[in-house]
């Protein structure tokens, strides 16, 4: 199994690479960090991390020649399991509204909007308890009350409630995990979320949509 972590100059991939390599040993996975669309196109699993602002990440991804097309063909046409992390998850949306309106990948309908949490600090930073909305194989062994690590000031509001797999309470319900078909995404950082994050990574590597 080849797992491609997509590198498009949007954050430090070292901790994510280490976490995926650790859990990948269980399934004999070859984990590679790559900006090569041909490598991404041949992968058995694709992971799209992302740190920073939505427009900058979306622009950076689009500037990797051939990558957007390779991801679309692999994920939407061939059904390769896909995991987006943080802004990598937000870019699944139809539109992002951070700084300016920016088109997302539109793989899961919805919009990325600012967190509205009167009396609470924004960005939402630190540990928060998950609330599971819909069971999913990537959430096996993860229950309501388990906590994960977040760093974000914007949230993904999905158009279809069935696509919100989990949320946290931060001045209201804030999306934590999204998913449909062979696509999932986490607002939190699984590579920084200790046992729960490693469990989710392992579930993703074992998942057959």
The CATH architecture to which 2-206 belongs is 3-Layer(aba) Sandwich (3.40)
Tell me which of 86, 98, 124, 152 is the catalytic residue. 86
Q: Is 57 a catalytic residue?
A: no
Query: What number of residues does the chain have?
Result: 209
For 62-79, what is each residue's pLDDT tens digit? 999 999 999 999 999 999
Minimal CA–CA distance to 203: which of 134, 139, 135? Answer: 139
Q: Is 189 a catalytic residue?
A: yes
For 96-126, what is each residue's pLDDT tens digit? 999 999 999 999 999 999 999 999 999 999 9
Tell me which of 98, 136, 152, 191 is the catalytic residue. 191
Give the pLDDT of residue 11. 73
pLDDT one digit per residue (tens) for the chain, 209 residues:
999 999 998 877 999 999 999 999 989 999 999 999 999 999 999 999 999 999 999 999 999 999 999 999 999 999 999 999 999 999 999 999 999 999 999 999 999 999 999 999 999 999 999 999 999 999 999 999 999 999 999 999 999 999 999 999 999 999 999 999 999 999 999 999 999 999 999 999 999 99
- Spell out the SS3 assignment of the chain: CEEEEECCCCCCCHHHHHHHHHHHCCCCCEEEEECCHHHHHHCCEEEECCCCCHHHHHHHHHCCCCHHHHHHHHHHHCCCCEEEECHHHHCCCCEECCCCCEECCCCCCEEEEECCCCCCCCCEEEEEECEECCCCHHHCCCCCCCEEEEEECEEEEECCHHHEEEEEECCCEEEEEEEECCEEEECCCHHHCHHHHHHHHHHHHHCCC
């Amino acid at each position: 199994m080849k797992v491609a972590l997509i590198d498009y100059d949007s954050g430090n991939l070292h901790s994510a690479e280490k976490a995926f390599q650790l859990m990948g040993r269980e399934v004999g996975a070859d984990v590679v960090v790559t900006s090569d669309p041909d490598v991404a196109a041949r992968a058995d699993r694709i992971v799209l991390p992302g740190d920073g602002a939505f427009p900058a990440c979306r622009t950076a991804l689009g500037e990797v020649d051939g990558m957007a097309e390779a991801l679309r063909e692999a994920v939407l046409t061939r059904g390769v399991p896909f995991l987006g992390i943080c802004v990598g998850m937000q870019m699944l949306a139809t539109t992002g509204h951070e700084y300016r309106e920016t088109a997302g990948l539109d793989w899961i309908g919805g919009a990325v909007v600012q967190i509205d949490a009167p009396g609470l600090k924004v960005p939402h930073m630190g540990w928060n308890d998950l609330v599971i909305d819909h069971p999913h194989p990537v959430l096996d062994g993860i229950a309501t009350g388990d906590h994960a690590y977040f760093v974000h000031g914007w949230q993904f509001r999905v158009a279809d409630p069935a696509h919100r797999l989990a949320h946290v309470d931060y001045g209201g319900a804030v999306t934590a995990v999204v998913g449909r078909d062979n696509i999932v995404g986490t607002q939190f950082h699984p590579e920084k979320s200790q046992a729960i994050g490693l469990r989710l990574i392992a579930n993703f590597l074992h998942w057959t949509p």
